[in-house]
Amino acid sequence: MFVVENLIRNASSEKETLSILVINEGFDDYILSLAESMNHKFYLINGIAPGIAQWSLQESASNIYLYNSIDALPEKHIDVIICFNRGKTFDIANQISNQLHVPLIVVDFCESNKLLPLPLTATINIPDQERAAYYYKNGDASVGVDNTVKRSWVGQVPSLSFEIPYPFSPFNEGGQRNKILIDTKMPTEFLNTLNLQGSPYVTQDPNEAFVYVHLWQVKTPLLYKCMSSKIPAIVFDREGFADLLNQKLCILGDNHIGIFSADSYQRLVQHEHLGELANQAYEFMSKNTLEDFSSKWNNIFNHVCNKTLLRG
Partner 1 sequence: MNVFFVGPYRQSDNWGKVSRSFLRLLHSQENVDVVSRPIFYNVNSTVKDIGVLENGEHKKLSERDIIIQFGLPITFVYDGTFKKNIAVTMVESKVENIGWTTSLNQMDQIIVFSETEKRLLEESGVTTEITALEVAPFAFDNSMSEEIKIESNNRTIFYTDARPSDSSGLEQTITSYLNTFTSGDNVGLIVFSNQNEQEAVQKVIEDTKQKLSIFSDDRNYPSISIVPNKNQDILNYAHNNLSFYISIANNSVIGNEVMQAFMFNRPVILLDTYGKVLDGDSEYPLVVKSNEVVCKTTSRSYPSMNYGKDTWNQACEVSLSRMMLDVYNNDNIVQLSKELIGIFNMNFDNKTSTGVGKAICL
Does residue 158 bind partner 1 (CB under 8 A)?
Answer: no
- Do the beta carbons of residue 65 and residue 41 sit within 8 Å? yes
Closest CA to 22 of 39, 48, 44: 44
Does residue 136 bind partner 1 (CB under 8 A)?
Answer: no
Residue 219 to residues 21, 156, 301, 310: CA-CA distances in angstroms? 24, 22, 24, 32
75/21 Cα distance (integer angstroms): 11
44/115 Cα distance (integer angstroms): 24
Angle at 149 between CA 223 and CA 90, to 5 degrees: 90
Choose between 11 and 123: whose C-beta lies nearer to partner 1: 11
Residue 285 to residues 128, 211, 226: CA-CA distances in angstroms? 36, 17, 10
Does residue 150 bind partner 1 (CB under 8 A)?
Answer: no
Within 172-289, residue ranges assigned H as helices are: 188-192, 221-228, 242-246, 262-270, 274-286
Residue 140 to residues 83, 149, 194, 224: CA-CA distances in angstroms? 12, 17, 40, 26
Choose between 138 and 288: whose C-beta lies nearer to partner 1: 138
Does residue 310 bind partner 1 (CB under 8 A)?
Answer: yes
Among 13, 129, 176, 270, binds partner 1 (CB under 8 A): 13
Does residue 16 bind partner 1 (CB under 8 A)?
Answer: no
Closest CA to 236 of 253, 261, 257: 253
Closest contact distance (angstroms) between CB of 118 and partner 1 is: 31
Does residue 74 bind partner 1 (CB under 8 A)?
Answer: no
How many residues bind partner 1 (CB under 8 A)? The answer is 18
From 58-66, 204-212, 220-228, 301-309, give the range in contact with partner 1 by CB under 8 A: 301-309
Does residue 2 bind partner 1 (CB under 8 A)?
Answer: yes
Does residue 309 bind partner 1 (CB under 8 A)?
Answer: yes
Does residue 12 bind partner 1 (CB under 8 A)?
Answer: yes
Among 4, 53, 66, 72, binds partner 1 (CB under 8 A): 4
Site string for partner 1, 87-106 (x = CB under 8 A): -----------x--x-----
Chain residues in the site for partner 1 (CB under 8 A) = 2-5, 7-8, 10-13, 98, 101, 306, 308-312
